[in-house]
Amino acid sequence: MSGILSNLLVVELAAAPSGAFCAKLLADQGADCIKIEPPGQGDLARREPPFIGGEPHPDRSTAFLAFNTNKRGVTLDLAQAAGRQLLVRLVKEADVVIESFPPGVMERLAIGYEALKQVNPRLVLVSITYFGEDGPYSNYLGDDLIAQALGGYLYAVTGSADRPPMGTVLQQMEITAARNGAIAVMAALLHRETTGEGKHLDVSVMEAAISTPSGLIHPYSFTGRSPRRGGGDRNVMDGMHLPTRDGEVTLTTAGTGGRPMEVWAEFLQEPRLLDPKFASRQLRLENWEELRDLIAPKLAQWNNLDLMRETMARGLVIGLVQSPDQVVNSPHLAERGYFVELQHAEVGPLKYSGPGFLIDGANAMSALRAAPRLGEHNEEVYCGELGIPLEDLGRLRGAGVI
């Protein structure tokens, strides 16, 4: 099956990871995505370490490579009128435009929704910003950390109760905002099928952070207490990471039929787990160090993959704390065909994460191309598709428009 979105043209003007990842989600399902970057430095993600091969290089940033698969890349200076004219020509043909500039930037450049709607009433414009298009913080500077802070995530979710707030890695609030954006885009496209109308979608990274934990706002409203970090502290059976011979594992009491200590005592061959002082969840929290010291040496005799196989066979539920390296080399994922190998002129072949679902048994990720090099498709897009003569392209290049 060719990609589900292969009839779509997406133009990405993303200045932040949220927009880039949102566009990637569409591109990986077959949309033709043209990523527009400022000439010279390109997307700021090109400067983010680490780099494949070690040395900084605009085509070797892992953050850039990971979030820009299946896109074509062109450069365009939107500060110049000639650049904006080219943008409008692209937008005329586009189904979706994704941007992540601070609110008001597009309007100041006269390429805001109202202006773009004039040239393409069917356009779906997605604006992903840290704080949304309006409200008192809309002009604040943001990044993923600040979105985690203002979005309640830092206080409530990841860190330990007796330590400062601590959050997630690799810009998860931006990623979540991007997924929200992709849902909104699909809804808007379905709406357009019946009405012919486009829409302007307002996606906030801060709001992604707030709505993402199940228990933030309404638990406070029901109980009067703000959820606070530290849920995994002291919780040997349901939260802590414990070392194995070749890694770490996190246990659960699930699958034990309500007799967790009996079942785990038998599995680990450690009868002292049957001591009444571990008999309830509360008692296990109170005596957590003793409990950990009984369990840890037993787990240390296991290799991760053996432990997974044997617990699975008994219906017990554990989680291997896998390193990215173990994930990449996972036999399970290999059998699933999860990773997609893409060739890239600068960094060679690499395996990329799939979308997380198989469609009719096959990995649904389009495998057309790895991330574009800066301006890689200028000629193809501007000359081949917009019909600009090659000599004009040279003039535009000379003027710094592309």
Partner 1 sequence: MSTPGILAGIRVLTLEQVHSLPWGTSFLADLGAQVIRIESVDHLQDREAGPFPNNQRGEEWWNEGGNLAYYGTRNKQSLCLEVTTPKGKEVFLRLAKNSDVVTDNFRPGTMQRLGFDHASLAKINPRIITLSSTAYGHTGPWRRAGSRARTVDAACGMSFLTGYEGGPSQRASNNYMDHSTGNNVAYALLLAIYHRNRTGQGVRIDLAMQETGISCIGPAVLEAQRGITRPRVGCGHLWKSPHNVYPCRGTDRWIAISVWEDAQWTALQDVMNDPAWAADSRFQTTLGRWQHRRELDNLLGTWTATQDDRQLMRTLQERGICAGAILTAQDLVADPHMQGRHYMQEFENQAAPHIGTRVYAGRPFRMPGVNLTIRHVATLGQHNHEVLRDVAGLSNEEIEELAREGIISSTPKLGETAAESE
Which residues in 107-146 contact partner 1 (CB under 8 A)?
A: 131-132, 134-138, 140-143, 145-146
- Closer residue to partner 1 (CB): 177 or 401: 177
Should residue 42 be labelled a site residue for partner 1 when binding is judged by CB under 8 A?
no
CB of residue 140 to partner 1, shortest distance in Å: 5
Find, among 14, 18, 31, the residue nearest to 364 by Cα.
31
Q: Specify the stretch interacting with partner 1 by CB under 8 A; choose among 70-78, 94-102, 351-359, 382-390.
A: 351-359
State how beta strands 319-321 and 199-204 pair. Answer: unpaired
63 and 21 Cβ atoms separated by less than 8 Å: no
Should residue 32 be labelled a site residue for partner 1 when binding is judged by CB under 8 A?
no
- Closer residue to partner 1 (CB): 80 or 252: 252
Should residue 381 be labelled a site residue for partner 1 when binding is judged by CB under 8 A?
no
Residues contacting 183, CB < 8 A, separation 6+: none
Indicate which single residue of 42, 352, 381, 402 sits in contact with partner 1 (rule: CB under 8 A): 352
CB of residue 96 to partner 1, shortest distance in Å: 12
Indicate which single residue of 58, 159, 372, 375 sits in contact with partner 1 (rule: CB under 8 A): 159
The number of beta carbons lying within 10 Å of the beta carbon of residue 394 is 11
What phi and psi values does residue 139 have, to the nearest 5 degrees? -95, 5
Query: Which residues, numbered 215-254, are part of the site for partner 1 (CB under 8 A)?
Result: 215-224, 226-228, 231-232, 238-239, 241, 248-250, 252-254
243 and 299 Cβ atoms separated by less than 8 Å: yes
Indicate which single residue of 9, 48, 115, 373 sits in contact with partner 1 (rule: CB under 8 A): 48
Distances from the Cα of 270 to the Cα of 184, 277, 297, 310, 335, angstroms = 52, 15, 10, 16, 35
Indicate which single residue of 18, 75, 100, 158 sits in contact with partner 1 (rule: CB under 8 A): 158
- Token pair, residue 117, equals 């709607």
* SS3 call for 32: strand
Query: Which residues, numbered 256-295, are part of the site for partner 1 (CB under 8 A)?
Result: 258
CB of residue 270 to partner 1, shortest distance in Å: 21
Query: Which residues, numbered 55-84, are part of the site for partner 1 (CB under 8 A)?
Result: 62-63, 65-67
- Closer residue to partner 1 (CB): 17 or 39: 17
Q: Specify the stretch interacting with partner 1 by CB under 8 A; choose among 43-51, 83-91, 284-292, 389-397.
A: 43-51
- Closer residue to partner 1 (CB): 287 or 330: 330
Could you check whether the bond before residue 50 is cis, i.e. omega within 30 degrees of 0? yes
Q: Cα(194)–Cα(111) distance, rounded to whole angstroms?
A: 26
Should residue 300 be labelled a site residue for partner 1 when binding is judged by CB under 8 A?
no
* SS3 call for 233: coil
142 and 171 Cβ atoms separated by less than 8 Å: no
